[in-house]
Structure 1
Amino acid sequence: MMMASGRDSNAFNLLDEPWITVLTGDGQERDVSILEVFEQAPALSVIGGEVSTQAFAITRLLVAFLHRALDGPADQPAWAALWEQPALPMERVHAYADRVRDRFDLFDAWAPFFQVAGLRTAKDEVSALEKIVADVPNGEPLFTTRSAASLVRITAAEAARWLVHVQAFDPSGIKSGAVGDRHVKNGKGYPIGPGWSGQIGGVLAQGADIRETLLLNLIARDAQTYVRVGGAADVPPWERDPDGAAWAEERPVAGAIQCYTWQTRRVRLQGSRDGVTGVVLANGDRMAPQNRQNVEPHTAWRYSEPQSKKAGHPVYMPRRHDPSRSVWRGLAALLPSISPRGSTGGDPARLLAPGVLQWLSELIEEGHLPDTFVVRLRVHGMEYGAQNATCAEILDDLLPLPAVLLRQDRPAAGRTADGAVTDANSAASCVWRLAENLAQAAGAPPQSGAGAAAQERLYAALEQPYRTWLAGLRPGCDLVEARSGWQRTVRAACWPIRDELVAGAPTAAWTGRPVNQRLVNVPLAEVWFNNALRGVLPLAYIDAKTPVEVAG
């Protein structure tokens, strides 16, 4: 039975106090409380914050809250009933909020939200706020215009946002050694890895407003074959006894709700509702990433052959985002139509789509969402520095996906979209080889970097065209013509790069030199490129009235 904390002048209850940054339908930014988010969800467009990863962490917190408030949904029909309503069921939300209200006070003396009451080090050290403010990691400005003075004190609302973020994305590295933590050595908490959300490639389904976003990510309990969510043990930290300084090396993970609210750190904010000035930040519950695909639905998964051989059974790892690559270039891993969760009956699948997109695929197949619906994939990720000890880069991307691309029972559209990525990659390889051949013809060593630069120019040129083309893959469209049109787009993007590379080749490259026992010069390199491009983009050349210059 939970103890009542009592009300005092220092209370800052996140259910009632505005702290979550949102954008309204007309683009205005403001802060709202947890209950206000749910009440006003149809009129709010997205959740924001100081950095995009805050939005990911806070959205998952809200989804966990809604799961518990609704005790579900139990199945697809129950979900469809929620989707058809213009607003969230606030009577049930308020009833649940009343039951857990005492656990949402940021400065409660017994159970402060997402913190440990009385957490301290042997010397009572308190760290500066840069320990939790991710856009100023370890005092080095990264994505911010904030001044050093602004880190002396932050508002309770901002502290709450960073508190949720630090539990999800805090980098690894040495932490404060908390009294009561048996793992502490020499007064230090040694690295246990980044926060759980920092170990995955975050993928949220985003709707037209926050109500849609919450519901699209609200997976039913009967989706047990690929995501465990709900159940007696799958509860958030505000429904169990408060944590102490001690933490578990491998606490069992019962389901998705626990992943959404995993307590990777033990934290105590120093301050009050009038402002927060410091933090005690220690290690919390460690979660290893291997084979969490049945409890973590907001990331794609990849089969790890080395780990599988070592373990003697299939091992899957979260497929983290590469900040140097746009999300569309890894589309195959996201689509259930390409990387389904179902058993293939043979070798382990190389990729598994995010559970949340498998869930949406089933909703589309059963008619609860139309094929014409557009799912906006919001991709979040944190890139860490050396030894995962600092925040290096934050990834935020948005990719609108026509729902038909997700359908596992009708995979043709998804395969066409994936094939188009292959077209881009194949053409990029041709461009890479052209640039390298020209560089070597002029005397440069292999792998000079010329190819990589040319390749990135092509990907940049295809960035917006691919997104536009993808949006056109609607039900009933001619997929063969769509693929042909895309290959023509890729070919057209290659030509200016080819022409500039050839025009910029130095005089020595026209004469050329032997490379691997064959002559390489500008005319030969251009002929090889044109032939190679025709080979990888055959549909672009069908019925062409005038052949592109290709050697006979």
Structure 2
Amino acid sequence: MQAGPGDRTAAGPHAQSSLDGGRRPPMNVPTTQPPRFNLIDEPWIPCIDRAGQRRELSLAAALQEAHLMREIAGESPPVTVALHRLLLAVMLRVYGLQDETVWEDLWRAGKLPSEPLQGYWAAWRERFDLFHPQYPFMQAVDARAKPKSVGTLLLDAASGNNGTLFDHHTDADSLALTPAAAARALVAMQAYGLAGLFLPGATFTSAPCVAGVIFLVEGNTLFETLMLNCFYPENRFIPSGSQDRPAWEMDDPLLPARTVPLGYLDYLTWFNRRILLMPEVRQAGVEVSLMTMGPGLRLDPLPLEPMKSYRVDEKRGHVALRFDEDRAVWRDSSALFRLHNSGYRPPQALDSLANLVLDGLLDRHQMRRIMALGMASDQAKIEFFRAERMPLPLEYLQDAALVERLAQALERAEGVAQQLWGAARTLATYLVAPNQDTGEGRSAQREDLDQLMGGWDIQRPYWSRLEVPYFRLMEQLPSAGEEALAAWFTLLRRTAQDSLERVLAMVENGPRGYKAAVQARQQLAAGLAKALPFAEAVSSTPTGG
């Protein structure tokens, strides 16, 4: 059992932060009825149970009943990620789990034992009160910050510089959040806050989960998901020192002033923002419409995030895989399994899974899933959220040759996509300049070609049709091998041809269109012969016009 609030080693009970003149100011609410919302007891974590029903659980229930829940279902991928990280921080603190024997005992039990949790809640209960007058959960005041709409806290809301596509709230709107919604927004902001200007001479810095896809291994229950993502050996990637603990155990999470986490628990609960919710007791209950927010702790240098996937660039160092609006994550999925390749650093959970398989704690023939979660941002603006799921056959974690075959399948798909683009370029060229091959008449201008091809968007249907078959390939490749690869190559060829034919159906009839279509089909046939194994590339060329 971890020490309670009486054992304070980082900062004494009277320690002061330079910007708040004390630990916490009194809340601006009636003193006769101070609001309370203890995250241990109050429902606020959205989950899907094993029957498919949506339920909101308290922090205690989410952990105690994790074996009865299928998954966490936040209102956005960043919220889902932040809630996982919070639960993982509690689990690691309460159960340790740095020892494989402890992990194995919990895994075989199939659920989390209640006694350690109950002891922890008893020791730290007041620190989980969202509106505690001195220690509000994951909050701190910045005296420089003026009260503003709580909409600023919502990553999916339009506020300030962050205008989103489907949200039409503005800073001037009277937006009010329930305590449950405010708590979710709070933990999400601490994990996903973007860099930007606060005041002259003071800036916000990016939170740990920004700038990269977060990967979580998914089990059959929430308990399994948490267990499969919480086994981190000591002193790896983010070492844990003797002072390491989650933010809520610190009298002042901003002290000691630091740019390097005290350890993994400090990192999981990193205080990226000084946020202070301002609750109001209204007739309908407690609501939050105002808050203050200022910069918190700065990570420097930015550590390698254990939940991200990196490739190693000679000049740029470790480069995290990011979401791309035009590129699904599965197209880069082979990199996730390159556990022993110096050019990559996959998510640490996969490395841990490989060790569990090697030690016989997990069957290498099991099928798990992996979630890719997060958002894409640019210049302090959120562009989109995304959540993807992929199958995760554990055999890929033990067989490097199998990973190479999967990489080959993806490389062939990329090669075919390039040839498809080339055929479309040829089609556009001959539509714009029919005499391109004779040198007579006008030449095709790049701007004209780009405009014409932009309307076709020829690669989008190609890739969208490959996603489900690729997941099937991932599942079949360990057992079917070359047969599965051959079927994949055949599918690539057929999908490319179908994609070109879809565009050709939109092309005008007549000599110009017919000539352009012939040239495009010939271009694609030649390109497929280069991009695919010869036996799979040989096929009759479509004759439609």
Counterpart Cα distance in 2 of 1:133 and 1:327: 25
Counterpart Cα distance in 1 of 2:81 and 2:278: 25
* Corresponding residue of 2:460: 456
2:204, 2:296 within 8 Å by CA — same for their partners in 1?
no
* Corresponding residue of 2:20: none
* Corresponding residue of 1:396: 387
Q: CA separation of 1:376/1:167 partners in 2, compared to 1, >3 Å: closer, same or farther?
A: same
TM-fit CA distance, 1:504: 4.1
Out of 81, 87, 97, which is 1:72 matched to?
97
3-state SS in 2 of match to 1:154: coil
TM-fit CA distance, 1:426: 0.8
The answer to whether structure 1 residue 428 and structure 2 residue 440 are counterparts is: no
Q: CA separation of 1:358/1:449 partners in 2, compared to 1, >3 Å: closer, same or farther?
A: farther
Instruction: Report matched runs for 1:56-455 at 5 Å.
Output: 56-75=81-100, 77-116=101-140, 118-121=141-144, 125-138=146-159, 140-144=163-167, 152-175=175-198, 185=201, 189-192=202-205, 194-222=206-234, 224=235, 226-228=236-238, 230-243=240-253, 248=257, 251-271=259-279, 274-288=286-300, 290=302, 292-293=303-304, 296-307=305-316, 315-335=317-337, 339-340=338-339, 342=340, 349-385=342-378, 387-388=379-380, 390-407=381-398, 410-443=399-432, 444-446=444-446, 448=450, 453-455=457-459
- TM-score, normalised to structure 2, is 0.83
TM-fit CA distance, 1:105: 1.1
1:299 partner letter: K
Q: CA separation of 1:393/1:481 partners in 2, compared to 1, >3 Å: closer, same or farther?
A: same
The answer to whether structure 1 residue 532 and structure 2 residue 540 are counterparts is: no
Q: CA separation of 1:85/1:147 partners in 2, compared to 1, >3 Å: closer, same or farther?
A: farther
Counterpart Cα distance in 2 of 1:87 and 1:448: 56
2:248 partner letter: W
1:221, 1:228 within 8 Å by CA — same for their partners in 2?
no
1:531, 1:550 within 8 Å by CA — same for their partners in 2?
no
3-state SS in 2 of match to 1:125: coil
Structure 2 residue runs without a partner (length 5+): 7-12, 14-23, 25-30, 433-443
Counterpart Cα distance in 1 of 2:229 and 2:505: 51
- TM-score, normalised to structure 1, is 0.82
Once superposed, what is the RMSD of the aligned Cα atoms?
Answer: 3.0
TM-fit CA distance, 1:422: 1.1
TM-fit CA distance, 1:375: 2.2
3-state SS in 2 of match to 1:484: helix
Counterpart Cα distance in 1 of 2:452 and 2:497: 17
1:300, 1:353 within 8 Å by CA — same for their partners in 2?
yes
* Corresponding residue of 1:479: 481
3-state SS in 2 of match to 1:473: helix
2:423 partner letter: L
The answer to whether structure 1 residue 490 and structure 2 residue 492 are counterparts is: yes
Counterpart Cα distance in 1 of 2:231 and 2:174: 38
The answer to whether structure 1 residue 548 and structure 2 residue 543 are counterparts is: no
The answer to whether structure 1 residue 50 and structure 2 residue 53 are counterparts is: no
1:19, 1:32 within 8 Å by CA — same for their partners in 2?
yes
Counterpart Cα distance in 2 of 1:257 and 1:527: 59
Counterpart Cα distance in 2 of 1:151 and 1:470: 49
Counterpart Cα distance in 1 of 2:312 and 2:173: 44
2:259, 2:298 within 8 Å by CA — same for their partners in 1?
yes
Counterpart Cα distance in 2 of 1:208 and 1:144: 33
1:289, 1:317 within 8 Å by CA — same for their partners in 2?
no
Counterpart Cα distance in 2 of 1:503 and 1:403: 43
TM-fit CA distance, 1:350: 3.0
TM-fit CA distance, 1:262: 1.2
Moved over 6 A (4+): 145-150
3-state SS in 1 of match to 2:520: helix
The one-character-per-residue Cα deviations of 1:463-486 (angstroms, maximum 9, x if unpaired) are 222122222234xx1311111111
> Percent of aligned pairs with the same residue?
26
The one-character-per-residue Cα deviations of 1:181-239 (angstroms, maximum 9, x if unpaired) are xxx64xxx4343x32212332111111111001000011435x4x54454423321122
Q: CA separation of 1:286/1:439 partners in 2, compared to 1, >3 Å: closer, same or farther?
A: same
Counterpart Cα distance in 1 of 2:227 and 2:484: 32
TM-fit CA distance, 1:148: 8.9
Q: CA separation of 1:550/1:131 partners in 2, compared to 1, >3 Å: closer, same or farther?
A: closer
Deviates more, 1:493-502 or 1:429-438: 493-502
3-state SS in 2 of match to 1:106: coil
Q: CA separation of 1:508/1:440 partners in 2, compared to 1, >3 Å: closer, same or farther?
A: farther
Deviates more, 1:251-260 or 1:434-443: 251-260
Instruction: Report matched runs for 1:490-509 at 5 Å.
Output: 490-506=492-508, 507=510, 509=512
TM-fit CA distance, 1:423: 1.5
Counterpart Cα distance in 2 of 1:492 and 1:135: 39
Counterpart Cα distance in 2 of 1:151 and 1:365: 56
TM-fit CA distance, 1:141: 5.0
1:487, 1:539 within 8 Å by CA — same for their partners in 2?
no
3-state SS in 2 of match to 1:197: coil
1:234, 1:258 within 8 Å by CA — same for their partners in 2?
yes
* Corresponding residue of 1:181: none
TM-fit CA distance, 1:49: 2.1
3-state SS in 1 of match to 2:477: coil
TM-fit CA distance, 1:260: 1.7
2:45, 2:56 within 8 Å by CA — same for their partners in 1?
yes
1:195, 1:264 within 8 Å by CA — same for their partners in 2?
yes
Structure 1 residue runs without a partner (length 5+): 178-183, 308-314, 513-520
The one-character-per-residue Cα deviations of 1:160-183 (angstroms, maximum 9, x if unpaired) are 0000011011222233x5xxxxxx
TM-fit CA distance, 1:532: 1.9
Q: CA separation of 1:257/1:322 partners in 2, compared to 1, >3 Å: closer, same or farther?
A: farther
3-state SS in 2 of match to 1:376: strand
**When the two structures are aligned, how many residues end up with a matched partner?**
496
1:107, 1:272 within 8 Å by CA — same for their partners in 2?
no
TM-fit CA distance, 1:393: 0.9
TM-fit CA distance, 1:539: 6.4
TM-fit CA distance, 1:272: 5.0
1:12 partner letter: F
Deviates more, 1:51-60 or 1:272-281: 272-281
3-state SS in 2 of match to 1:46: strand
